[in-house]
Amino acid sequence: MKSYIFGKILRVIPLVILISVITFALLHLAPGGPVGIVAGNPKVSADDLSRLRESYGLDDPLPVQYLHWFKQVFLRFDFGKSYVNGRPVTAMIRERIPATLELMGSAFLLALIVSCVMGVFSALKRDSAVDHFFSAISVTGTSLPVFWFALMAIYLFSLRLGLLPAGGRETLAVPHSVLDRLHHLILPASVLSLTYLASWSRYLRAGLLDTFSGDFIRTARAKGLSERSVILKHALRNAVLPVLTVVVMQIPTLFTGAVITETVFAWPGMGRFFYEGMQRQDYSRVLGIVVISSLLIILFNFAGDILCLAVDPRIRPGRLAGGGKNA
């Protein structure tokens, strides 16, 4: 196990460096940039633009800029200052994390619970009306774009019915309350969870159907075990392994990938923060979020491997690492 963990860490280091190099190069080679935002202003002279480039360090060769940025980020964990407002990017990210965790946690729990219910009932009631109904929900959730669901939810529940707020995290000029936060959380959390529960339920259904045909399920039933015990203790534990891997791998996308949902609902989280950084060509902000999301994806990939070991002891670290031999 120790050699497996150490090997994973050794593979992570060059991967993170490669991601940072590619992202840094693409952003800085793209037209525009922080100086390009003010370049079209007739009040800004060529000398002003030259001083801006010098103050941002953009006059240095690209490899030199990357080395300065790399030492600043990976040695001091400092993402620099925003080109837009001059504030430290690390502090700005810390301000956005609570809102993202609130939305991410709610959407994750909702998607997990609903997908388990849908997947189990679809497998138990195969080819029934219940199965067809849940299949229609899954196909709809995976086929239609997220922004369409968000806009339709706002139109129906906010504009037509007036039941839920159209956006924001809390009501302005109103004392803070948990009920008000929950009121604003319902729509974005539901929309964000829809795509995930649609795919997770399909994975679980397929896994359960495959497990039900196994010899050990027939043996468990022949021993006189109750159907509930067969499903929960035998079938579900074996079917959940591939679903668990998918769920863990998609957690980082909930953290940083809810760009559309947070933007449509004006939710002050990391996704909207990333969108605003791209819109304003704020390199420091975008690079900071890309590095964090890359680290999270790698971390949860590793966590998924460990969870697979815990759920199914038959899996050995050597197989997870691709070695093919038991460690």
Per-residue pLDDT tens for 95-117?
Answer: 888 888 899 889 989 998 999 88
Helices (H) and strands (E) in the chain, counts: 15, 0
Please tell me the predicted confidence (pLDDT) of residue 154: 93
Closest listed residue to residue 199, CA positions, set 143, 154, 142, 244: 142
How far apart are alpha carbons 164 and 29 in whole angstroms? 43
Angle, CA of 289, 186 and 96, to the nearest 5°: 25
How far apart are alpha carbons 287 and 278 in whole angstroms? 10
At which residue do the structure tokens 């952003």 appear?
Answer: 27
Please tell me the predicted confidence (pLDDT) of residue 322: 45
How far apart are alpha carbons 62 and 292 in whole angstroms? 22
Question: In the numeric block, which tokens belong to residue 253?
Answer: 């996308």
Please tell me the predicted confidence (pLDDT) of residue 326: 35
How far apart are alpha carbons 287 and 277 in whole angstroms? 9
Question: In the numeric block, which tokens belong to residue 30?
Answer: 């793209």
Low-confidence ranges of the chain (pLDDT < 50): 320-327
- The strand pairing partners of 81, in sequence order, are 88
> Structural domains in the chain?
89-320 (1.10.3720.10)
Please tell me the predicted confidence (pLDDT) of residue 324: 40
Q: What spatial distance separates the first Cα and last Cα of the chain, rounded to whole Å?
A: 7
- In this structure, the chain runs to a length of 327
How far apart are alpha carbons 245 and 308 in whole angstroms? 7
Whether this prediction's pTM lies above 0.85 is answered by no
Percent of the chain with pLDDT over 70: 86
Closest listed residue to residue 245, CA positions, set 284, 199, 279: 199
Contacts of 277 (CB under 8 A, 6+ apart): 285, 286, 289
Helix, strand, coil share (%) of the chain residues, nearest 5: 75, 0, 25
How far apart are alpha carbons 48 and 1 in whole angstroms? 58
Please tell me the predicted confidence (pLDDT) of residue 123: 85
Question: In the numeric block, which tokens belong to residue 242?
Answer: 């591939």
